Amino acid sequence: MIDKLSYTLYTTTSNLPTEWDVVTKPNIFLSRNALAVLEKAPPKNMECHFVGLFKENSLCGVALIQFIDLNNVTTFREQQKKNHLKDYLFKKFTSHILFIGNNTLTGQNAYLYTDAITETEALQLMQAAMQEVKKDYHNKGITINLITVKDFNTEEFPDFNRAGFKNYFTFCTQPNMIFNIRADWENIEDYLLALNTKYRTQYKRARKKAEGITKKKLNAAEIQVYQERINELYYTVANKASFNTFFLPENHFEVMKKELNDNFLFYGYFIDDTLIGFNTLIKNNTDMDTYFLGYDESVQQQKMLYLNMLYDMVAYAIKKRYKRVVFARSAMEIKSSIGAEAEEVYGIIKHTNPIVNLFMGKLFNYFEPKVTWKARNPFK
């Protein structure tokens, strides 16, 4: 306890304080229902701990702590033979990780706090909670290798030293791709008028290629019907990533639809009656966050399906008057070609072995996948 401050750890959302969603109103990803998805349908190698921050027994902040076990995940892309050694070393020295944050998302989805406490006080409580979780795993025979807090843009990045986070390495990973919607755009035609000729031609070509594809919004029951095919399409995309720390379970999207209802949108793309792709969106106040997607590789190449999905997301967000589309990491170049801009995100990381931690910077740079891409500017 720090003065009149305290924290409580929870492992089930049913035990969260009644005022939880009042505190988390600014960010749906920390809401009771969103956390329930992580409780009911998490990646099999992930365990979640929900933290309530209290001042004089009144809830004044919340945080999410995740434990990830990398032992049963092919972290680096298997077809690159040199990565077998990297995978072995990574798991030997970093297989058990504790996060303050949400490893399934990009952006500051780690914590929220009210004006009743300062950010430094909130971080001190979170650090104490993290140490308790670490000790609990130790008592179960599990040694935590890495402790990390993520993701923050430049303006959000806290003074971690002041909060007592000592000997951590500050890192920067792949950027968060943000599409800002101009105030005077009311529909997709306004967006097209803002594009230069080259990218307006790209849009028309992609739309022409997509002829024959129908798009349908699916409810929870329909997601369940197509669950096996959805999982297959999801893995097609997930396995293309150069670096993975988890894979979603088969029922994840069905559970998310049941928990978030109209705040979670699942769109299936069909040719005749065959599901050939899907994308997902989450309404988060003035932001429209993209979530996971999947597609049939052969159709994607033939129909420019991924690019058409990006245009669909932009069109929906403009029509519904959102301020931003958060496209997250990956595929930075194609996202920039439709107008998304890179926002650098930072975190801090520490190895629990003091000797290994001396080399944290070099280790991080060795393991972090190198991605080269060229930023595009499609606007006039």
**Residue-averaged pLDDT of the chain:** 93
- Please report which confidence band the pLDDT of residue 3 belongs to, taking 50, 70 and 90 as the band edges: low
The yes-or-no verdict on residue 77 having pLDDT over 60 is: no
Token pair of 191, please? 């967006």
Determine the pLDDT at residue 92: 66
Residue 81's pLDDT is what? 46
Distance of CA 311 to the CA centre of its chain: 20
Per-residue pLDDT at 89 exceeds 80: no
| 69 phi/psi in degrees, rounded to 5 | -110, 115
Report the pLDDT averaged over residues 286-296: 97
* Percent of the chain surpassing pLDDT 90: 86
Please spell the DSSP secondary structure of 317-361, one letter per residue. HHHTT-SEEEEESS-HHHHHHTT-EEE--EEEEEESSHHHHTTHH
Q: What is the pLDDT of residues 250-273, one digit of tens each?
A: 999 999 999 999 999 999 999 999
> What percentage of the chain reaches a pLDDT higher than 70?
94
Question: Dihedral through CA 97, CA 101, CA 102, CA 106, nearest 10?
Answer: -110
Render the burial of 211-232: b for 16+ CB within 10 Å, e for the rest.
Answer: eebeeeebebeebbebeebbbe
* DSSP per residue, 72-111: TS--B-TTSTTHHHHHHHHHHHHSEEEEES-TTS-SS-SE
Look at residues 62, 54, 69 and name the one whose alpha carbon lies nearest to residue 13: 62
Tokens in use for 30?
A: 């920390």
Confidence check: pLDDT of 47 > 80: yes
Judge whether residue 72 has pLDDT over 50: yes
3-state secondary structure of 61: strand
What pLDDT score does 245 carry? Answer: 87
Residue 132, pLDDT above cutoff 70: yes
Between 365 and 326, the more confident residue is 326
Q: Give the pLDDT confidence of 110-119 residue by residue, as tens digits.
A: 999 999 999 9
Residue-level pLDDT at 42: 97
Q: How confident is the model at residue 90 (pLDDT cuts 50, 70, 90)?
A: low
21 exposed, middle or buried (CB, 10 Å; 0-12, 13-18, 19+)?
A: middle
Report the predicted TM-score, pTM, of the whole model to 2 decimal places.
0.93
pLDDT at 93 over 50: yes
- Average pLDDT (174-195) is 97
User: What is the mean predicted confidence (pLDDT) over 124-135?
Assistant: 97
pLDDT per residue as tens digits for the range 368-380:
777 889 999 999 9
Tens-place pLDDT, residues 196-248: 999 999 999 999 999 999 999 999 999 999 999 999 999 999 988 777 889 99
Q: With a cut of 50, say whether residue 63 has pLDDT above it.
A: yes
Mind listing the pLDDT tens digit for each residue in 11-20? 999 999 999 9
Q: What is the DSSP letter of 31?
A: S
Q: What torsion do the CA atoms of 132, 137, 143, 148 make, to the nearest 10 degrees?
A: -50
pLDDT band at 79 (very low <50, low <70, confident <90, very high): very low
